[in-house]
Amino acid sequence: MTLAQEFNSLNGLIVSRKTLEDLLIKAEKEKNTIISKRVIKVLQAFKDDTFLIEIKNLVEPFGLNGVKKTTNKTPGANRFEVYTNTRKKRTKIIKKTNLAKAVTKPLIKKNTVLKTVVKPVAKEKKAVEKPNLNKNSLAYKMANKPKNVKYFKIDNKDIADFLGKIEIPASDSVVITLTGGQGSMKTRMCFQFINTFAQNYKVGHASIEEHPESTLYYDKANEYLNNQALIDTEAPVIKSVADLDKLIRNNDVIVIDSFSKMQEMQKGFEVDKDLRKKYNGKLFIVIFQQTTDGKMRGGSKSQFDADIVLYTEKKSNYKDNYIFADKNRYQNKPLDTLKFNIFSKKLMSNKSENTKESKPNKKLSFTVN
């Protein structure tokens, strides 16, 4: 194999620095200036131990007389020094040439004579083993918990203090149940909830007990709802679960009156399965009828599933009727101190009803004869 063939055979190979140095020694020994210059440029341009060689212009083999003499006179061609062996006396001559030159593109230097593309072989990186993370662990969840938690905005201060700070969950929904006997003003309290939430949210009212197009309904709406609430409250006729589903998807807060009517429409209808876990980010206010022994009609399961459980207290004078919380996951105040008067639309005072001071007992002093 000639020196030119050996040089050309490096094309596309990964070679060591020593291989190029050995090739340079051969080129200098054979006085092949073309190959020696190209190899020198590569070795000087890079300090790596291994090289990926790509030769754009191959070197033509020389003839029997040693270095091939060039007679090309192309304008602008670069000059190089050659020696001939055709005469006994060695004569140095300068010629022009258009021989193709290989150009090296080093990482830093841009303008070089060589055109050989040298790519250092990248060292293999060892993969760093990451510890297995349990994304279900409490530590992981707390470290990655949402920073911007949203809460339902309640402008009415008395209702806001009574209900507490209710979160808008990213998944699932919040359920408030309101239970009371006949004539305990449950429906009137719901209209107050509607008016409060409709100031900031779209409210859907599934009024199944009272027809939403009746005079009774319009009278309550006129009494409790302001203009903003009238605009942002939707009250269609609900005849099926499909009608209720459409109402829920169109609104943020949904008031259902009542749960027993929904069970009549669909057997097995449940608060948790069909409301709380079926929809995300909603607030449900559901009215329950009260049994004769004071319990929620529809089973105790709904009481456990609900986030806030409210009851009405019916008095002989309807103006004294109030609601109280038996359970509230979003309230940090003692529940027995929170009572909301339905007629006055205000929180009741915590002062004792009996403000009269008891008179001190007088000691009797007498003598027995």
Tens of pLDDT, residues 131-157: 667 878 888 778 877 778 899 999 999
Confirm if 68 and 99 have CB atoms less than 8 A apart: no
Residue 147's pLDDT is 79
Model confidence at 68, pLDDT cuts 50, 70, 90, reads very low
Phi and psi at 33, nearest 5°, equal -70, -30
Q: Is the pLDDT of residue 207 over 80?
A: yes
- Report the DSSP beta bridge partners of residue 310: 178, 325
Superfamily of domain 157-347 in CATH is P-loop containing nucleotide triphosphate hydrolases (3.40.50.300)
Phi and psi at 40, nearest 5°, equal -60, -40
Confirm if 176 and 285 have CB atoms less than 8 A apart: yes
pLDDT tens-place string over residues 272-317: 999 999 999 999 999 998 877 767 666 567 678 899 999 999 999 9
> In which residue are the tokens 């300068």 written?
94
Alpha-carbon separation of residue 136 from 124, 140, 285 (angstroms): 35, 7, 32
Residue percentage of the chain with pLDDT more than 90 = 46
Please state the domain extents for the chain.
3-118, 157-347
**Where are the alpha helices (H) located in the chain, listed in sequence order?**
3-8, 17-29, 33-45, 138-143, 157-163, 186-197, 215-224, 227-232, 241-250, 259-265, 271, 301-305
Of 53-57, 73-77, 116-120, 124-128, the range with the lowest mean pLDDT is 73-77
Residue 196's pLDDT is 97
Which contacts (CB < 8 Å, 24+ apart) does range 219-225 have?
Answer: 220/187, 220/188, 220/191, 221/191, 223/191, 224/188, 224/191, 224/192, 224/194, 224/195, 225/191, 225/194, 225/195, 225/198
DSSP, residue by residue, 305-345: H-SEEEEEE--SSGGG-EEEEEEETT--S-GGG-EEETTTT
pLDDT tens-place string over residues 146-203: 778 899 999 999 999 999 999 999 899 999 999 998 889 999 999 999 999 999 999 9
Distance CA 256, CA 246 (A): 13
Alpha-carbon separation of residue 53 from 39, 103, 126, 330 (angstroms): 11, 11, 26, 71
pLDDT tens-place string over residues 238-279: 999 999 999 999 999 999 998 989 989 999 899 999 999 999
Residue 328's pLDDT is 96
- Report the DSSP beta bridge partners of residue 308: 176, 328
* Closest among 51, 91, 90, 98 to 70, alpha carbons compared: 98
Confirm if 23 and 63 have CB atoms less than 8 A apart: no
Residue 281's pLDDT is 95
pLDDT tens-place string over residues 81-124: 333 343 444 434 333 333 334 444 444 444 444 444 555 666 66
Of 212-221, 255-264, 336-345, the range with the lowest mean pLDDT is 255-264
Determine the residue type at 357: E
